[in-house]
């Protein structure tokens, strides 16, 4: 896999102005009480939301440390570690929080060490458990961490605090160092948490998706007129992860083609068979596609099991010249 796709590690900072200090408290409140813009925080009984490594364990404590340890130009730095959801899906659900917490501590402290910050650096972080809003695979578990760092650190050699900075130039690129350390840490943890074949498994998933996407090289199954134009669509399936797939449609977007799921949580063969069935039933009518998908989503577990039992008995081989295939199924 492309190692740059393994994890996002972003750095931002806030200036020490009166307005930014107010916004900082707002940021800390948000990180404490939200998983994302649309999800409230999930609290675990007996566990603090923030993991304290010197910056505090509450909004008040962290805000006070940010103010006390600011530099002339920086009130705080914020770091985000967000592992690729395709990789996180390979990790057992009960171990994912441990995975991202370990990644955060090990990478952050290795970053300090590589930069020669011998006395260490205060930080605190919070773990979020949001759901992905990726339109191709929405609703997947997407644990990640937000780290708060002060604007200064204690220099043992000078015996005083000095400004913390993130250079990004030809001689020293701290962001590149952080990304390299993050990628190596994720790779090490994937081998320990998942197994030595994790990268091959990721590549197999990517290859399956590429093969499914290749169906869009054929003529479109239909077209839909919307407010800002027209998009072509192809009924198809896409692997959500190693275990499940979705049936929906591929559609043209500004920079290519993307998948939009309509029916999720399917076995891989179910998704492929259902895509072929829906394609044969709708006659290029996008409204009909949505209506049939809605009907399947409304089925009970027993109804869906019986439905797929019928679908598996269908013959999708090319029809003989004088015979019309019969896909008559009660939706």
Residue 323 above 50 pLDDT?
no
Is residue 181 domain-shared with residue 40, that is, in the same domain? Answer: yes
27 within some domain: yes
Average pLDDT over residues 21-49: 81
277 within some domain: yes
Is residue 171 domain-shared with residue 233, that is, in the same domain? Answer: no
31 within some domain: yes
Residue 71 lies in domain: 3-196
Share of the chain above pLDDT 90, in %: 74
Is residue 176 domain-shared with residue 294, that is, in the same domain? Answer: no
Give the position of tokens 């441990």: 98
Q: CA of 296: how far to CAs of 168, 299, 305, in Å?
A: 52, 5, 11
- Decide which of 307 and 39 is more confident: 307
Residue 8 near residue 80 (C-beta atoms within 8 A): yes
Is residue 299 domain-shared with residue 184, that is, in the same domain? Answer: no
pLDDT tens-place string over residues 273-308: 999 999 999 999 999 999 999 999 999 999 999 999
- Write down which residue in 196, 226, 243 finishes a domain: 196
101-110, 164-173, 285-294, 321-330, range with the lowest pLDDT: 321-330
Is residue 152 domain-shared with residue 288, that is, in the same domain? Answer: no
Is residue 65 domain-shared with residue 124, that is, in the same domain? Answer: yes
219 within some domain: yes
Residue 261 near residue 139 (C-beta atoms within 8 A): no
331 within some domain: no
Is residue 99 domain-shared with residue 244, that is, in the same domain? Answer: no
326 within some domain: no
176 within some domain: yes
Is residue 144 domain-shared with residue 98, that is, in the same domain? Answer: yes
Is residue 49 domain-shared with residue 85, that is, in the same domain? Answer: yes
Q: CA of 182: how far to CAs of 87, 135, 171, 196, 276, in Å?
A: 14, 26, 20, 18, 42
- Write down which residue in 196, 221, 238 finishes a domain: 196
Identify the CATH number of the domain in which residue 43 sits: 3.30.930.30
Residue 66 above 90 pLDDT?
yes
Residue 328 above 60 pLDDT?
no
- Write down which residue in 196, 222, 240 finishes a domain: 196
Nearest C-alpha neighbor of 194 from the set 104, 89, 82, 83: 89
Q: CA of 191: how far to CAs of 7, 86, 99, 195, in Å?
A: 15, 15, 12, 4
- Band (pLDDT 50/70/90 cuts) for residue 67 is very high
Is residue 20 domain-shared with residue 160, that is, in the same domain? Answer: yes
Task: Compute the distance between CA of residue 55 and CA of residue 148 in angstroms, rounded to an integer.
Answer: 8
Backbone angles phi, psi at 147, to 5 degrees: -115, 135
Is residue 117 domain-shared with residue 172, that is, in the same domain? Answer: yes
51 within some domain: yes
What's the total number of domains in the chain? Answer: 2
Is residue 157 domain-shared with residue 218, that is, in the same domain? Answer: no
- Band (pLDDT 50/70/90 cuts) for residue 318 is low
Nearest C-alpha neighbor of 127 from the set 109, 147, 111: 147
């Amino acid at each position: 896999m492309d190692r740059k796709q393994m994890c996002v590690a972003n750095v931002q900072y806030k200036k020490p102005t009166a307005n930014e200090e107010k916004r900082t408290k707002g940021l800390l409140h948000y990180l404490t009480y939200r998983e994302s813009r649309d999800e409230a925080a999930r609290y675990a009984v007996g566990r603090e939301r923030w993991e304290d490594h010197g910056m505090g364990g509450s909004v008040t404590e962290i805000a006070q440390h940010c103010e006390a340890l600011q530099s002339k130009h920086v009130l705080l730095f914020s770091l985000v570690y967000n592992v690729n959801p395709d990789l996180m899906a390979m990790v057992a659900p009960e171990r994912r929080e441990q995975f991202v917490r370990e990644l955060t501590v090990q990478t952050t402290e290795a970053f300090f060490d590589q930069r020669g910050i011998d006395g260490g650096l205060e930080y605190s972080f919070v773990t979020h458990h949001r759901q992905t809003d990726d339109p191709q695979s929405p609703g997947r578990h997407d644990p990640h961490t937000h780290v708060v760092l002060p604007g200064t650190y204690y220099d043992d050699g000078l015996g005083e605090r000095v400004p913390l900075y993130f250079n990004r130039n030809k001689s020293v690129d701290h962001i590149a160092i952080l990304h390299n350390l993050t990628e190596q840490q994720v790779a090490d943890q994937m081998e320990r948490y998942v197994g030595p074949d994790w990268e091959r498994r990721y590549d197999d998933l990517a290859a399956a998706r590429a093969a499914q996407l290749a169906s869009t090289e054929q003529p479109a199954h239909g077209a839909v007129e919307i407010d800002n134009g027209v998009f072509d669509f192809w009924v198809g399936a896409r692997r959500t992860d190693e275990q499940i797939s979705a049936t929906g449609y591929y559609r043209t977007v500004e920079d290519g083609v993307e998948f939009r799921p309509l029916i999720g949580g399917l076995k891989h063969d179910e998704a492929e068979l259902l895509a072929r069935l829906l394609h044969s039933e709708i006659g290029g009518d996008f409204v009909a596609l949505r209506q049939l998908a809605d009907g399947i989503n409304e089925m009970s577990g027993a109804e869906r099991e019986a439905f797929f039992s019928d679908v598996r008995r269908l013959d999708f081989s090319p029809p003989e010249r004088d015979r019309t295939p019969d896909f008559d199924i009660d939706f």
